[in-house]
Structure 1
Amino acid sequence: MSGRNRTIVSRGNPPWWHQTTTALLCGSVLFAIPAIGCAQQTDDGAYRLSPVIVNAQAAPDDDADTVVARELWVGGKVATSIQDTPASVSVITQQEIEQRGAQTTEEVLQYTPGVVTDYYGTDDRNDYFQIRGFQATTYRDGMTLGSMRGVREDPYAYERIEVLRGANSTLFGPADPGGSVNFVSKRPRFERFGNGFLSYGSFDHKEAGIDVGDVLDSDQTLAYRFTGKIQDSDREYDHSKNDNGLLMGGLTWEPTDQTSATLIVDYLSRDDTPNSGGYPLDREYDRDDFFGEPDFNDHEVDRTSVTGQLIHDFENGLTLRANVRYSDLEDDFQYVYITDSAARTGTLLDRDYFGTDTDAHEFIGNTILQYDASFGDIDSSTLGGVEYRDASTDTQSIYGDAASIDIANPVYSGGPDNLTPYRYENQDYRTRSVFLTQNLSFYDRFVVSAGVRNDSMDLSSEGESYGTAFDDSDDFSETTVRGALTYIVSDELSTYISYVESVAPPTIGVTPERGKQQEVGLKYSPDGMKAQFSAAVYNLERDDVTIAVVQDNGAIDQQTVGESRARGLDLEAKAELTDSLSIVGGYSYLDTEVLSGTLNSGASIEGNDFAIAPKHTAMLWGYYTLPGEKMSVGLGARYTDGYYFDAANTSKSDSATLIDAAFDYRIVRNTDFTVNVSNLFDEQHVVGSGTANYYNPGREIRAKVSYHW
């Protein structure tokens, strides 16, 4: 056995997070990432672990006090070694999120290589980010958010956020090829803990939050957790608001060492302004300008989710997992926005209005069986499962001309009088999936992984558009495969080569977009230091690509551009260099090309770069605790190369570097005063442009007092 293998012997009453056997620890990992991780129980009760499990005792929040995660919890299951995962992955831990004071998913992902965020500026309806030049799919505890994906998630609800770069439909089903972002929910822990905070900052930002938990019975079988947050704030532009709230409760029941059941109920509410109305194209305007309508631009979101998870270990190499979630969403917005053009003269600008009222319901669940066995120097893990998803969405959409506005002397005229919807639509999306993964580990050095998945999808859409009724349906059956080989060079170094496929969530009457990626990667975790360094080069191709193109009248049209390709390099470093100094950094090189494609206008875009695909991005965040451990400072820089705003490559952004900073002072034991500043020098540039310009967020300062116990 190499030094990477180890034995773990249970002594006394083990903590909740490793009361299941190592076979359980091996199991659900492989549904998330096809890297072998199984164990064999010896006669004396110890466990022999294959190379890829480096910490069988990892808890879900084991990285709450470090920026260097060792395990990957994709799928909300158990820990697997990041070091030996045959994919390019990043984990943003709770510690890193708190250091940087990140408030949104976009802010959380800003220091992650391969990811571009916030390219729609003051359009605040959704979180906007792309991975490796393509859209990314979002998950919560390994199950797709689907019809819930347009909602801005609150990072305070999650233990950590994980990023998988590249295609992965074999793991999770229909997904965009750029990669995936997985939110890992906060769960009960079998110990007493808590923290609370009060915060105030720019734009009259007021916020309070609490996160507490404890054991409920003397037998240590039932634990709870409650998380809540409320925010009352404006945005950086006039006539805006940014109010939201979160309530989340969880119960975990572990009657035996082999069985664990968790129930999580959460409610997310938002009442904010969706859009500033955009900014004219002729020059740079102040960020606080507002060219929408104060009494009309509004966005309200209410979402309730109920999640259940069950794990049972049969103690014979067989493990059962069941996961289920039901979500109910109301998402309503409307706004007035300007429609400018380069040919415009004078100060009078046309405006349009747009909005949707959406009711969505989603049920998703899976059942997974895994069997682990060992044959001498060969470890085997076989995983099979089924998944079912049923989602429905009812939408009413409004669109039309709004009153013009004089940008030299804005006078607001109120919202449009006639808001008769031009489109009613009811969509149903049903998916039935079956998947199989086989993993083999040879002599503690080679790990071979292979997987296949089939997704059968039934889609239907009925309603009325501009007075014309429609009733359409379609069905698809898509199969994806993946394979990987990992070589464990030493305890510190591993390398891999992989091939993965993806199929994007399809649209009625449109050929599903398929992606495929080849990747070679290297990971280094030096002994004697808590650090993780990684490098990956890849070739990612996508066929039958459909993109959103803004028309002259402001409407958005979906256009198929054919075939495209992205090639690049991702480098990442996360390290605690000393007990006082940690760094998080990365660099990405991205070379994109449209191999074939023609817009609806007839213009060829063959040879063009992707929109929103900077060739170079780089980021570095450092955090230093001064001697005495009462004061800490953080400083970060984010560089983004210039990129094209549109598929036609007619206009391009400037390159930009933004600086962030943090300060923390320990007032008394367990009580901290923190100040975070994003975009320290208030640098301003255009991040998105069509019929209007949109700027990057300006400087924002937030102060917080927090207490931990």
Structure 2
Amino acid sequence: MVLLLAGTALASPALARTADEAETSTDVEGVVVTGHRNGYQAGQTASAAKLPLSLKETPQSVTVITRERMDDFALSSISAVLEQTTGITVQELDSNRVGFSSRGFAIANFQADGVPTSYSSGNSVMNDTAIYERVEVVRGATGLVTGSGDPSATVNLIRKAPTKDIVGSVGLTAGSWGRGRIETDLSGPVFADGKVRARLVTGFEKRQSYFDLYEEKKTLGLLAVEADVTDTTLVRVGYDYLEVTPKGTTWGTTPLYYRDGTPTNLPRSYNVAAKWSTWDRNSENLYGVVEQQLPGDWTLRAAVNRRESESTALLFYGYGGYPNRQTGAGLTVADYYNVYQEEETGFDIYASGPFELFGRKHELVFGANGYERDGTTLDTGIREPRPYPMTIPDIRTWTGNIPKPTTFNTGKPLQIARTKETGVYGALRLNPTDRLKVILGARSSQWETRTDHYVAGAYARTTGKYAEDRLTPYVGVIFDVTSNISAYASYSDLFKPQSNKDKHNEQLPPVIGSNYETGLKGEFFEGKLYVAAAGFFVKQENLAEVDPTVPDGFLLPDGSTAYRAVPGAETRGFELEVAGSITDRWRVQGGYTYAYTENQAALRINTLNPRNIARLYTTYDLDGLWGGVLDGLTVGGGLNWQSEIYTLATIPTSNTTTVRTNVRQDSYVLANLMARYRVNDHVSLSVNVDNLFDKTYWRRVGFYNGGYYGEPRKITVTLRTAF
């Protein structure tokens, strides 16, 4: 077994490499193709069109965050990865809700090993990177492989797979605010012939936070087993698990103004949650992949993912109103008990391979994918009388010590939201000449949703029943200008059914539109450095926007916000990106994005997404310099800059009056540093410093008329041993 054979690796320097460096099996939807990691440069990816293409051959903007990149900058969460990804905005609503956007739009399309899966800011629990080999982000519309969605991005999370060599690592991490973390990763053949391989990843983390009262525990694991059933058949099955248990959970933001209209300037440690306030979440995934090599260099791949998750929220937070400057009173409390259970089955099956036409070789892929998801909300409200007041008596002296409620509703199903999307797709990659490639594709999608309501556990009625069939064309053209540089252009239709409702409580029509992109891509230094420039244009109809015509505090019968459909919304922008190695010592990854979205009246919308985002991260190995004095040392750093964000909020101007006006966060830059010392072939010690200059800034403004602070300076120290 792997655990028994692992001991042989300890005695052999030749095996002193991590599982990320070891040779993996054949490509499975983005798992390392070349067999070895290559710094910050990716191999082939199939995320954009289900065809195995290099980044230079892909007619869309693609960023790949490799395992080495994650380790270098201590990126232990998906949020941290996307925060350092070109063109992505990360917006935290409170301590446990986070959303992502790209090119001015929310990111809703996520995949696990190419299989569609879902993400929501409140109930999803996929936010740890320990089980992933790399993260692929395709920006723009990806309707060919995902069906519905915004022209933002698709995030494909590639799980770690078993390796042919016996390898492993153990990482111990300590950091700011009492953070402690341990990760283990063990992989290799189960039997001597190597035809059956396994990988086991485990992790545990416990931490507090820069804001008072909050603490969190996280437990995770992955077990994957794969086998070469025949010389041409590979089968992989796996299971992964993640549980997050917080305390002191917030449900809202920090008030920006006192009741008299003066700024609060509250500290970043501000938190008026109860100590017991929590939002527990757990998720289990059972997945399988079969990959069959067929005659004529064709491949058939089938993958399935079954996910079951649950979130239990028992929340208490002072979120509403404005505190009195003299007394600290005035905030109303939001309390909430909710149990939400979700079951989701996703699949992806396709065949791909070459064929000859007119004396030239071309490629074809065709397949089907989709998902079916049931989200059940239980009837779990807090019953009266509540054992605490519904106002915060004084924010200045708040300790979070209040009684915990003990009586709740029945716990029977209250509503079940059902969503199903399936589609069939196909794409041709034609090679008319040695320098010209044309991708022609289309997808036929079927999308349907409904919500079933229950009373005392018995079915009562169905609302929100809606279905949509849509054909999505795709065209991509790539022309090799030189052996290093290619020019490309792509086009795709897009559609997105939406659950938002207008002020009359009517569901908005689906978003429809077109996405155009064109640019240049290049590979230099023998393919080790990737450089790209792209321009994009998106035309949309029925884009949802918060309705500014409704009175302050207006809510729909279900408690949601009223939206309106915006006709003729357009987004224009461009991107620059670089990734890879400039020399054998010097690695770099970064980019710049400009995106501007306006409505038919030429007024900017989606203003919580910055117009400009720039990121640049780099590392440099100092081996062999200055007579070898610095052997084993790697240093690096990074910069994150974004322009201002703003949105409308209700702000007091005196003790009796308020006004609707913009609140904003000005542009800011964050600096990060890293250093790693390789003690020997098996042991390394790393130090990471995020927000080096301790910049105070808001990650989000306007939510509940308040703001959510960004993280202060943070230090992380990791000791890692590999065998």
Return the TM-score normalized by structure 2: 0.83
CA contact (8 A) 1:298 1:335 kept: yes
What's the CA shift for 1:340? 4.4
Q: Secondary structure at the match of 2:72?
A: helix
Q: Which residue of 1 aligns with 2:597?
A: 592
User: 5 Å matches for 1:164-313?
Assistant: 164-273=138-247, 274-275=249-250, 277-282=252-257, 283-295=264-276, 297-313=277-293
Give the match for residue 101 of structure 1.
Answer: 74
Partner of 1:22: none
Q: Which residue is 1:35 aligned to?
A: none
- Counterpart in 2 of 1:705? 719
Distance in 2, matches of 1:528 and 1:313, equals: 30
Q: Is the 8 A contact 2:48 2:142 kept in 1?
A: no
Q: Is the 8 A contact 2:60 2:138 kept in 1?
A: yes
Residue 398 of structure 1, CA deviation:
7.0
1:230, distance to aligned residue in structure 2 (A): 0.6
Q: What SS is found at the alignment partner of 1:363?
A: strand
Deviation readout 1:18-60 (Å, 9 max, x if unpaired):
76xxxxx7xx97xx9xxxxxxxxxxxxxxxxxxxxxxxxx944
**1 CA distance for matches of 2:242 and 2:421?**
26
Deviations 1:420-471 (A, max 9, x none): 5999211122233221212211222111111111122232211159999541
The CA distance in 1 between the partners of 2:661 and 2:360, in whole Å, is 53
Corresponding pairs, count: 649
Q: CA deviation at 1:399?
A: 7.8
Q: Which residue of 2 aligns with 1:617?
A: 613
- State the one-letter code of the partner of 1:335: L
Q: Specify whether residues 434 and 506 from structure 1 end up closer, same or farther in structure 2 by C-alpha distance, changes over 3 A only.
A: farther
Aligned to 2:8: none
DSSP 3-state at the match of 1:442 = coil
Structure 1 residues 480 and 376: CA distance shift in structure 2, 3 A: closer
Secondary structure (helix, strand or coil) at the match of 1:408 reads coil
Match of 2:522 in 1: 524
Superposition deviation, residue 537 in structure 1: 0.4
How many Å separate the matches in 2 of 1:557 and 1:404?
25
* SS of residue in 2 equivalent to 1:331: strand
Q: 1:64 aligns with which of 30, 37, 54?
A: 37
* Equivalent residue number for residue 10 of structure 2: none
Give, in angstroms, the shift of residue 520 of structure 1: 0.5
Q: Tell me how far 1:76 sits from its aligned partner.
A: 12
Instruction: State the distance in 2 between where 1:522 and 1:240 align.
Output: 47
Residue 512 to residue 61, structure 1, CA distance change in 2 (3 Å):
farther
State the Cα distance separating 1:645 from its structure 2 match.
3.1
Structure 1 range deviating more: 362-371 or 417-426: 417-426
* CA distance in 1: counterparts of 2:648 and 2:216, whole angstroms: 29
Q: 1:199 to 1:332 in 2, by over 3 A?
A: same
Residue aligning to 2:373 = 391
Amino acid at match of 1:499: Y
Stretch deviating more after TM superposition (381-390 or 479-488): 381-390
Q: Of 399, 404, 416, which aligns to 2:392?
A: 404
Match runs of 1:304-383 below 5 Å? 304-341=284-321, 346=326, 347-348=328-329, 349-375=331-357, 377-383=359-365
Q: In the alignment, is the contact (CA less than 8 A) between 1:339 and 1:553 conserved in 2? A: no
SS for the counterpart of 1:108 is: helix
Residues 649 and 570 (structure 1), Cα distance of their counterparts in 2 relative to 1, 3 Å cut = farther
Relative distance call for 1:333 and 1:367 in structure 2 (3 A) is: same
Q: Alpha carbons of 1:257 and 1:117: their partners in 2 closer, same or farther (altered >3 Å)?
A: same
Separation in 2 of the partners of 1:77 and 1:498? 15
- Contact kept, 8 Å, 2:317 with 2:333, in 1: the verdict is yes
1:669: how far off? 2.4
Supply the RMSD in Å over aligned alpha carbons: 3.0
Q: How does 1:441-452 map to 2 (within 5 A)?
A: 441-452=431-442
Residues 59-94 of structure 1 show CA distances to partners (whole Å, capped at 9, x for unaligned) of: 447563501213225289784211110001100111
Is contact 1:565–1:593 with CA below 8 Å preserved after alignment? yes
Match of 1:688 in 2: 700
Shifted more, 217-226 versus 71-80: the winner is 71-80
Maintained 8 Å contact 1:164/1:181: yes
1:277–1:292 Cα contact (<8 Å) kept: no
SS in 1 for 2:361: strand
Q: Take 2:545 and 2:681, find their aligned partners in 1: how far apart are those partners? A: 53
Give the alignment partner of residue 105 of structure 2, picking from 130, 134, 137. Answer: 134
1:5 corresponds to which residue? none
Whether the aligned pair in 2 keeps the contact of 1:387 and 1:433 (CA below 8 Å) is yes
**Between 94-103 and 285-294, the greater mean CA deviation after superposition:** 285-294
Q: Matched residues in 2 for 1:314 and 1:665: separation?
A: 47
> Retained in 2: the 8 A contact 1:170–1:502?
no
Aligned partner of 2:118: which letter?
A: G
Q: Does 1:110 align with 2:83?
A: yes
Residue aligning to 1:41: none
The residue that corresponds to 1:602 in the other structure is none
Partner of 1:45: none
- The 5 Å alignment of 1:471-510 reads 471-472=462-463, 473-507=465-499, 509-510=507-508
- Relative to structure 1, the CA distance from residue 374 to residue 675 in structure 2 (aligned partners, 3 Å threshold; closer, same or farther) is same
Q: CA deviation at 1:333?
A: 1.8
User: Is the Cα–Cα contact under 8 Å of residues 170 and 482 in structure 1 kept in the other structure?
Assistant: yes
- 3-state DSSP of counterpart to 1:633: strand
Write the letter of the residue equivalent to 2:390: A
In the other structure, the counterpart of 2:15 is: none
1:577 corresponds in structure 2 to 582
CA distance in 1, matches of 2:97, 2:110: 12
Cα offset, 1:547, TM superposition? 4.5
1:532-558: per-residue Cα shift (whole Å, max 9, x none)? 000100002332222468963896415
Q: What residue number does 2:127 align with?
A: 153
For the residue of structure 2 that corresponds to 1:83, the secondary structure is helix
User: Structure 1 length normalisation: TM-score?
Assistant: 0.85
The alignment partner of 1:644 has SS state of strand
In structure 1, the residue matched to 2:654 is none
Per-residue displacement from partner, 1:136-187 (whole Å, max 9, x unpaired)? 1211111221267822421111100011110112212222321111100111
SS at match of 2:662: coil
Question: Could you say which residue in structure 2 is the equivalent of 1:50?
Answer: none
SS state of the match for residue 81, structure 2?
helix
Q: Following the alignment from structure 1 to structure 2, what is the Cα–Cα distance between the partners of residues 394 and 80? A: 39
Offset at residue 319 of structure 1 (A): 2.8
Residue 486 of structure 1 aligns to a residue in which SS? Answer: strand
Q: Distance in 2 between matches of 1:553 and 1:193?
A: 58
- DSSP 3-state at the match of 1:97: helix
Aligned partner of residue 557 in structure 1, secondary structure? coil
Mapped to 1, the partners of 2:395 and 2:620 lie a distance apart of: 46
Aligned identity (percent) is 21
Cα distance, 1:249 vs structure 2: 0.6
Match of 1:603 in 2: none
Structure 2 match to 1:601: none
1:79–1:370 Cα change, 3 Å: closer
Cα 1:574–1:504 shift into 2, 3 Å: same
Matched to 1:207, the amino acid is: R
C-alpha distance in 1 between matches for 2:378 and 2:36:
44
**Conserved 8 A contact 2:78-2:126:** yes
Q: CA deviation at 1:568?
A: 0.6
Gaps of 5+ in 2: 1-21, 258-263, 383-388, 501-506, 650-659
1:482·1:501 contact (CA, 8 Å) conserved in 2? yes
Are 2:200 and 2:223, in contact at CA under 8 Å, matched by a contact in 1? yes
| Letter matched to residue 236 of structure 1 | Y
Aligned-partner Cα distance in 2 for 1:107–1:372: 39
Structure 1 partner of 2:604: 608
* Offset of residue 216 of structure 1: 1.7
Q: Distance in 1 between matches of 2:351 and 2:66?
A: 29
Find the counterpart in structure 1 of residue 641 from structure 2: 639
Query: 5+ unaligned residues in a row in structure 1: which ranges?
Result: 1-14, 20-24, 33-57, 597-605
